[in-house]
Homo-oligomer: A and B are copies of this chain.
């Protein structure tokens, strides 16, 4: 965000990298991008008028140099050996009149074309600063408050688990795992993101097998566990049928693989959805593993929140994937930073290799905010004393984190946490 909101433009910040060849500068590259992405072409055009430029031309509004590098983000065999690369953050203001409020227009004009510009050795979209007109997008239907309501968890982290193995369980076997997890005391359970509606576990059969377990658990205990079914399809009609099937059976949440359905799929679903939408961002990693390329999560998640994501998976401390802790910490904060209002925040879902041991570090590094879902897979299923002890250990770890007590001390009188530490601590 660049200070006070300017309601007539969309401001996009890019991290650019260019070879430091004679005459090259970040300013010139930024000007070229602004021209190419609004009114420019490669030769003079008789029809082009000053009025057009004034109304639709993009303008460079800031250039902030960063430390240069000798390792280009893209390989550039054409550069002489020993070439250095200039780096900097550049902000371009695109007139709202030229872009409008459609996400497809935003992505085409301010992102897609920029990635193709000649002469770069790196390009990364860092942030979108959107004018008030963009508050027209629906945003999350449930968000943090709605997620808490659905799980009846007034405060503190919501504790969640996932069905394992990812693929290959029959609906009946899945329902058995769901029963164990309900009895273990979780607030939320989800299908693995890889599970949608394969032949061996069609969604309809899975819903029919699982929902009675959820209902039965509620009858016995009063606790309604929120189950998120994998409804993703690249065909929005199929995804809506999946949605309706879950909703008709009393389900209240769904896992959506946002990159695999695309903006169109998410937009279509959100307008018709009665479910809490839990986003898995698989595929996004290719946009962020090389810091010189792609898109920062800060920019990415804004678009998906405007489209209606309620809960956003953001990995966690010491995740089993490649992502460094610092990246997770930034993502967590991004989800909880309003775009237009608190209501458009998404619940951060801390996940991947989590077993409770990371709770103190998560608590410390995210500023002690407890608006989060904490999702354990193997950390619950693989607990030496069983899944119930796995969930208890995670709750104990969060109590210790909040109280500022070391896990080893807190575990002294708590065998579940002690067993987790013995099994999972590295």
Residues of A within 8 A of B (CB): 37-45, 47-48, 52-53, 55-57, 71, 73-75, 97-100, 102-105, 107-109, 111-113, 115-120, 123, 164-169, 173, 176-177, 193-194, 196-200, 232-239, 257, 259-268, 271, 280, 282-287, 289-291, 293-295, 307, 320-323, 353, 377-379, 381-382
Most chain B beta-carbon contacts within 10 A, residue among A40, A234, A284 = A234
A259 proximity list for chain B (CB < 8 A): 107, 112
In the complex the two chains form, is B45's CB within 8 Å of A381's CB?
A: yes
Can you name 20 A-B residue pairings with CB atoms under 8 Å? A40-B165, A41-B164, A41-B381, A45-B378, A52-B168, A73-B290, A74-B290, A98-B168, A102-B233, A104-B233, A108-B283, A111-B283, A112-B259, A112-B285, A115-B282, A263-B264, A264-B264, A264-B268, A290-B290, A290-B293
In the complex the two chains form, is B234's CB within 8 Å of A99's CB?
A: no
In the complex the two chains form, is A56's CB within 8 Å of B200's CB?
A: yes
Q: In the complex, which of the residues B42, B164, B322 contacts A117, with contact meaning CB atoms closer than 8 Å?
A: B322
Q: In the complex, which of the residues B120, B268, B283, B378 contacts A42, with contact meaning CB atoms closer than 8 Å?
A: B378
Q: In the complex, which of the residues B42, B235, B293 contacts A377, with contact meaning CB atoms closer than 8 Å?
A: B42
Given contacts A100-B196, A113-B194, A322-B119, contact A47 B165 (CB under 8 A): yes
Q: In the complex, which of the residues B118, B165, B237 contacts A271, with contact meaning CB atoms closer than 8 Å?
A: B237
CA distance A71 to B197 in the complex (A): 41
In the complex the two chains form, is A165's CB within 8 Å of B290's CB?
A: no
Given contacts A47-B173, A235-B264, contact A118 B322 (CB under 8 A): yes
Given contacts A235-B267, A261-B264, contact A38 B167 (CB under 8 A): yes
Q: Quick one: closest B residue to A377, CB to CB?
A: B41
A379 proximity list for chain B (CB < 8 A): 43
Known pairs A42-B320, A52-B165, A102-B238; list 13 more (Cβ under 8 Å).
Answer: A38-B166, A38-B168, A48-B164, A56-B168, A71-B75, A105-B232, A108-B282, A115-B285, A115-B289, A116-B323, A118-B321, A234-B263, A235-B264
In the complex the two chains form, is B268's CB within 8 Å of A237's CB?
A: yes
Most chain B beta-carbon contacts within 10 A, residue among A98, A104, A266 = A104
* Identical copies of this chain, number: 2
In the complex the two chains form, is A165's CB within 8 Å of B283's CB?
A: no
CA distance A234 to B264 in the complex (A): 5
CA distance A35 to B58 in the complex (A): 48
A378 proximity list for chain B (CB < 8 A): 41-43, 45
Given contacts A104-B261, A236-B268, contact A382 B323 (CB under 8 A): no
A42 proximity list for chain B (CB < 8 A): 320, 353, 377-378, 382
A382 proximity list for chain B (CB < 8 A): 42-45
A73 proximity list for chain B (CB < 8 A): 290
Given contacts A238-B102, A261-B264, contact A107 B290 (CB under 8 A): no
In the complex the two chains form, is A235's CB within 8 Å of B102's CB?
A: yes
A105 proximity list for chain B (CB < 8 A): 194, 196-198, 232, 260
CA distance A221 to B345 in the complex (A): 58
A266 proximity list for chain B (CB < 8 A): 262, 264
Given contacts A165-B52, A282-B112, A290-B293, contact A104 B196 (CB under 8 A): yes
